[in-house]
Amino acid sequence: MTGINPQTMLSKGGEPMFTSLSKFNWKKIVISLSFTLFFVIIPHSLEDFAVGEPGKHEAPLFLLAEIIAAIIALQAFGLLELGKGNPRGYWIHVVIGLFWPAAAITAQLPVILTGAPYRSGFISILYIFGMILIGLLLLLASLIGLNSRTDKV
């Protein structure tokens, strides 16, 4: 009795069905995930300020705004570095991929899990889960991209 060996399974073209992770263009994947992350972190951050979230925790409004701007600028710098083929871009996205999910999980997820109405409803919850999911995917793609490094420019 023989088992299924994924290495010997063939697609129609004769290529292995399960390819090595290094065959993907991880730089493009990281760039796509990073831009997608902008579409949840920026609206969520604006919503934070609109509902007065920093004031509820006695956080200095202008300092918090500058910190968020710096993190977004760091993410943009990471995109620039990736575009130049510098591995520093992957490392920056590893940090970004850790930061946004950690921030969402620690600051927002406990409030959502209480079951009480959350801010603007579904869209606000979507921002949080988007930050977590896209951020973790960005982290993973950045680490794999660093490891495979076949997409150098």
| pLDDT of 12 strictly over 60 | no
Average pLDDT rounded to a whole number, residues 58-87: 94
- The domain total for the chain is 1
Percent of the chain exceeding pLDDT 70 equals 82
- In a domain, residue 99? The reply is yes
Write down the pTM of the prediction: 0.81
- In a domain, residue 120? The reply is yes
- In a domain, residue 107? The reply is yes
Model pLDDT, residue 37: 98
- In a domain, residue 7? The reply is no
Give me 91's structure tokens.
Answer: 């490392």
Model pLDDT, residue 18: 43
Reported as a single tens digit per residue, the pLDDT across 103-132 is 999 988 888 888 888 888 889 999 999 999
User: In whole angstroms, what is the distance from residue 89 CA to residue 79 CA?
Assistant: 6
Q: How confident is the model at residue 9 (pLDDT cuts 50, 70, 90)?
A: very low
- In a domain, residue 10? The reply is no
- In a domain, residue 69? The reply is yes
Model pLDDT, residue 2: 54
DSSP-derived secondary structure letter, 29: H
Domain that holds residue 75: 24-148
- In a domain, residue 97? The reply is yes
User: In whole angstroms, what is the distance from residue 78 CA to residue 89 CA?
Assistant: 4
* Residue 148, CA distances (Å) to 141, 145, 152 in order: 10, 5, 10
- In a domain, residue 46? The reply is yes
Average pLDDT rounded to a whole number, residues 7-36: 72
